[in-house]
Structure 1
């Protein structure tokens, strides 16, 4: 499992279809990919049911850890918009069993709109 307590890589928004080959076989009936983000090797996919963190391991990258974080376990969440000098925005979530999870998103991303999307599944 990804060590969420010691930080997480900065993510860039990507086309959700670029990760669908890895993620679609894991989705349950009625589950849809909403958005996707990619780091250097790892990625994070938000569906209408959960967040799936994909942690590529080892030198060859053949070993992959998939961590599911269900929206039903989110107790609180927060977003921080980007600023003049700090161009990254952040999404913080607190899960009942995992604790605090932070996602840092690079570039010009509509985190306020994303906050509304997350709220529609958490609240």
Structure 2
């Protein structure tokens, strides 16, 4: 069901050890991936030191932009849940030094609650 959830825009939790191996070249020596979520092709990754936002680009998704956000730089975050006519949930993260918040769109409420809880655990 993970692939189907990803195609529908629902965040699905990824295997932290697999993501650890994929990102081994960019992680600090003592850094470890603790939680990871996929939304379509993008990823939200929580390590013990920072938040990584992976934006896969191009047709194949081989090209990636990886944004690293230290937890201490997160000033605030918010979420908007789905409604009767609005079927998408949205997560916003304000980072010190950035004019606009970072936004991610979800297709259901359950997955945004999971990511929001993880964000609270690591950023607070």
Alignment TM-score, normalising by the size of structure 1: 0.68
Alignment check: 8 A CA contact 2:39 2:106 kept: no
Change (3 A) 1:16 1:121: same
User: Which structure 1 residue ranges, 5 or more long, are not aligned?
Assistant: 1-9
1:31 aligned residue: 32
Deviations 1:26-73 (A, max 9, x none): 33324323131232xx41222143332223344554432222122210
The count of corresponding residues between Structure 1 and Structure 2 is 112
Q: CA deviation at 1:24?
A: 4.5
> Matches of 2:61 and 2:117 in 1, distance apart?
34
1:16 aligned residue: 14
Alignment of 1:1-123 (within 5 A): 11-17=9-15, 20=19, 21-28=21-28, 29-39=30-40, 42-48=41-47, 49-99=49-99, 100-123=101-124
Change (3 A) 1:58 1:94: same
Instruction: Indicate the RMSD between aligned Cα atoms, in angstroms.
Output: 2.8
